[in-house]
Amino acid sequence: MILVLTTYRTGSTNFCKQLAEEHKYENLDEAFHENLLDLHKPVLRHLHKNKNCIVKLMPWHIKKSPIKNLLDELLPLAEKVYVLVRKDFDQQCQSYYIACYTKEWHNTFYEPKDIILERENWQRCVNFLHDEYLELETLYRKIDNQLIYTHQLDQGKKYDRPVNWNKKPGFVNIDIEELFD
């Protein structure tokens, strides 16, 4: 199994697809998503029987899983662990906010969408992603892994999502890269 540890809006969906094609593995993507709690135990059983899989895992998935030691269960099955990080935190926060606002997580849209900046929701998105990175950095320090940055990946399948903000969110001033130095 190849395990990809990451946060939301890092290009991880395309990275997992790429890994699955490259290794000819089954792509389970976010099989441990917080909205798929009933599948966590069956997926873990599947992984014990079939190690030719790609799994994406985020700190929030670990925290919300009914499997209390989820990461400890997955690590012995992993032949390789990638930690995927996105340097441009401002853009990541905007992407996350837009996905939450539009409820469109994996779609490209071509016509610009109007996005209304609600400061409280914006701050919630920023805080959530920052907290995810703090958790991811802790895992990064404890686990044998390969660090990959989103900008190193093929950006050809990046989502095209033009938007019109009623008010720009502004600069977040958090340097994600320094967490992983």
Fold (topology level) of 2-179: Rossmann fold (3.40.50)
DSSP bridge pairs for 29? 55
Instruction: Give me 92's structure tokens.
Output: 């990541």
Global confidence as pTM? 0.93
* b/e code 38-61 from CB counts within 10 Å (16+ = b): eebeebbeebeeeeebbbbbbbbb
Residue 154 has pLDDT above 80, yes or no: no
The DSSP output letter for 152 is G
Average pLDDT over residues 38-43: 98
d(CA 103, CA 152): 27
Domain parsing of the chain, residue ranges: 2-179
d(CA 14, CA 153): 9
Percent of the chain with pLDDT over 90: 83
Mean pLDDT for the chain?
A: 93
pLDDT score, position 170: 85
